[in-house]
Amino acid sequence: MRYLLALLFFSVTACDVLGWTQSIAPGMSVKNAFIYIAALSLAARFVIRGGFKLDVPSIQLWLGVLVTYAILTWLVVGVVLHYQSYKLVTSGIDLKSELLDNVLMFLLCLYGTQSVADVKFVTKWLLIAVTGANAIAIGDIAGWFQIGVTMVGKGGAEAGRAFGAFGHANETAALIICLLPAYAAAAISSAGIRRPFWIAAALISTAMMLMNGSRGAFVGLVLGGALGWYTCRRIISFRKAVPLLIVLAVLVIPVLLLVGMEFNDVLTHRVIAMLQDPGSGSGRTLVWLRAINTMMEHPLTLLTGFGWDAYSVMGFDQAMHNHYLLLWFELGVIGVVSYLLAIQAVVVTARSAAAVARPEHRAYLVACIFGVCFMSVAVFFTLLFRPWLYIWAYLGVSMRLAVMAVAEVRIKAEPEPAATRAPGAPRELAGRSLPVRGG
């Protein structure tokens, strides 16, 4: 199954790099087809093996609440309320592609991996797929070749910013900062030539993130890093972390200088503007206030939301630029709380497992915590569409590692049954075959 998941990542990434958005059937794209083939393969394995064990139920519970409420509001809006310009079928397709498919990807990677070797294999091939997409984007911008849909903004607030394979510049940057700690974990746990390979892969993605010019990503790294450090304060040794941070800074400086040769104006202008006026953000504050004022005019929506995909038919001329506010606007308190509790369950599960895991496993679990913290801050300033598939895939394999790390500790802690020991034999011989004389 792990080879099928690796193939899935490359297939989905290829669709994003090459812009394959062709529809095979209503609501079914080429990318969807690859996901559903993998899902059918996993379902067949469950049938053959006679079922499966439910893992990390808290995460699945809150994702289930989010999905159920989204479907309920979609039906109420489309069948009962009939908002002007609201199309039931079109919004249903958006619901499937923007929410259901992401949950399906999480479940695929959670249950499609069954060993630590599976987890590391799938995680590394996910990183390789994303690195490949970023490398192609950089090569395309540099003029080395013409592949894919990469572009550089020409005017307005987007002027000079690089758009990669994963959508808007802010989307690509949010995905990259979510996965950057995983690159570090892969490098730390590798040896020989594989370590410089992962360092190079991390630097390629870092270069792409800098070319995106995303202020949300920079804020995510700073505030998310502080949040991640606080969350893992009892797991990470400050004395050991400082040298690693110094090494990372030394490695990033040359990348920053190289990117600055072409994108320095974009980086300095956007960073300086953010420092001078943190609330300016391309008119984000005004957009947020309009959305909140609309909700205040209909107080019940502060609790219930307007319904799935309602923002698109409310006459707003700009995107929300805030994942949490969009959830609140459309799905109300239930939508925001269920999403936050699902993310909290991911962090708590990873932290609990990291506290007892072996060092080589702990690095990946701590990386997951930092990645979630980086991403959670970044999406306060942007909306994600394409990156969610990759993020939920990463969270799925990370949760499998957390489950296995805890199970490993429990197995070691279980007392050995007395019946398996020979009378008078020391405890360490329990369960072993005893030598027999004669013959």
pLDDT band at 438 (very low <50, low <70, confident <90, very high): very low
From 370, 62, 35, 387, select the one nearest 222 (Cα to Cα): 370
Q: Is the pTM of this model over 0.75?
A: yes
- Exposed/middle/buried for 399, CB within 10 Å: 0-12, 13-18, 19+? buried
pLDDT of residue 265: 60
**pLDDT tens profile 286-344:** 899 999 999 999 999 999 999 999 999 998 888 899 999 999 999 999 999 999 999 99
pLDDT band at 66 (very low <50, low <70, confident <90, very high): very high
177 or 240, greater pLDDT: 177
Q: Own/partner pairs for 165-168, CB < 8 Å, 24+ apart?
A: 165/13, 165/16, 165/17, 165/133, 165/134, 165/136, 165/137, 165/386, 166/16, 166/133, 166/386, 166/387, 166/390, 167/384, 167/385, 167/386, 167/387, 168/382
Residue that the structure tokens 């005017």 belong to: 155
Is the pLDDT reported for residue 282 higher than 60?
Answer: no
CA distance 372 to 395: 9
What are the helix (H) ranges across 280-322? Answer: 284-297, 301-304
In contact, 387 and 394? CB cutoff 8 Å: no
The secondary structure of 104-162 as a DSSP string is HHHHHHHHS--SHHHHHHHHHHHHHHHHHHHHHHHHHHHTS---TT-EE--SGGGTT-E
DSSP three-state, residue 25: strand
CA–chain centroid gap for 224, Å, is: 14
In contact, 196 and 152? CB cutoff 8 Å: no
**pLDDT tens profile 77-130:** 999 988 988 999 999 999 999 999 999 999 999 999 988 999 999 999 999 999
**pLDDT tens profile 174-205:** 999 999 999 999 998 888 899 999 999 999 99
Is the pLDDT reported for residue 155 higher than 80?
Answer: no
CA distance 253 to 242: 17
pLDDT of residue 256: 67
Residue that the structure tokens 């908002």 belong to: 83
Q: Encoding tokens for residue 350?
A: 């990873």
pLDDT of residue 272: 55
Lowest mean per-residue pLDDT among 83-87, 137-141, 279-283, 399-403: 279-283
pLDDT of residue 434: 36
